[in-house]
Amino acid sequence: MAGGLFKLVKPNKRPQATDIQAAAAWGVAAFTTAVWIVQLYRH
C-alpha cells in the first residue's frame, strides 16, 4: 500500500531518508510516552 502511495506523489515530493528517520523517531517517542503514561496510571 505504501508503495502505491509513493507512486501517486510527484518524484520531488517523495519522502526522503531523513523524513523517514524523523517519522520513525517521532513514532518511537510517541510509543515511549504512551507506555510511560500507562505505567503511571497502573501504579
What does the pLDDT read at residue 43? 75
- pLDDT (tens digit per residue) in 1-43: 455 555 555 566 667 888 889 999 999 999 999 999 999 988 7
Cell numbers for 1: 500500500
Radius of gyration of the chain (CA): 16
* Cα 18 to Cα 21, 24, 37, distances in angstroms: 5, 10, 28
Q: Are 14 and 6 in contact, with CB atoms under 8 Å apart?
A: yes
What does the pLDDT read at residue 1? 44
What does the pLDDT read at residue 16? 83
